[in-house]
Amino acid sequence: MNVREWWTKFIETDRPGLVRLLLIGGLGVALLAFGNFGVPRPSPPSTNASTTPHLAETPLSQQEAMVSAQLTGILEAIPGVRQVSAAVTLTRSIQSQYVSSSGGGNGTSPVVVSNQNGESVVPLDQVGPAIGGVVIVSPSAANPLLRAEMAQAVETLLQIQPYQVLVLPTAPTP
């Protein structure tokens, strides 16, 4: 039996099924065609109030470098720890959420306030970056107690799990 014979037999024997099939198919095409209509959601406007870029406005690699530098400074403040190199990997950058014009916190249409310095967006919250992992290298890590203190400091500061932190000693110089 070829397709033409099957189609002819289908039309003759099951007319209500054919009508249902055509209606469902037409509804699917209509939903696909008209599904993209609606009000576009604008992104929050940039502010002119400050001239220095916020951490949320910098690229992910720059945020990683900034967090790594801060972490290095904090770890070197631990007594006995010296020459620390830190590398932080972020999986998500800092994200800002804004008050919406409807009063909620979904941030799809932000409230813009005008003042003497220009326009600014009303912030609601800022979600911190997601840390993928941290590698610390220091000659002080050869001491197990200092290595444990550095790992615990990183876990506490960045609020991450122990498996996300690796503390390694540097090779001894000859």
Q: What are phi and psi of 32, to 5 degrees?
A: -65, -40
User: What value does the CA radius of gyration of the chain take, rounded to a whole number of Å?
Assistant: 29
Buried b (16+ CB within 10 A) or exposed e, 13-48: eeeeeeeeeeeeeeeeeeeeeeeeeeeeeeebeebe
- Which whole-number Å values give the CA distances from 105 to 41, 54, 100, 109, in the listed order? 15, 21, 6, 10
The span from the CA of 90 to the CA of 134, in Å, is: 9
The span from the CA of 107 to the CA of 125, in Å, is: 10
Answer whether 100's CB lies under 8 Å from 50's CB.
no
User: Any alpha helices (H) in the chain, and if so which ranges?
Assistant: 3-13, 15-34, 60-76, 144-158
The span from the CA of 147 to the CA of 137, in Å, is: 10
Task: Look at the pTM and tell me if it is higher than 0.75.
Answer: no
Task: Per residue of the chain (174 residues), give pLDDT as tens.
Answer: 688 887 787 777 877 777 888 889 888 888 877 766 655 555 554 444 444 445 545 677 788 888 888 888 988 888 988 888 888 888 776 666 665 555 554 545 556 666 667 666 665 666 667 788 899 999 988 999 999 999 999 898 888 888 989 999 987 665
SS3 category, 8:
helix
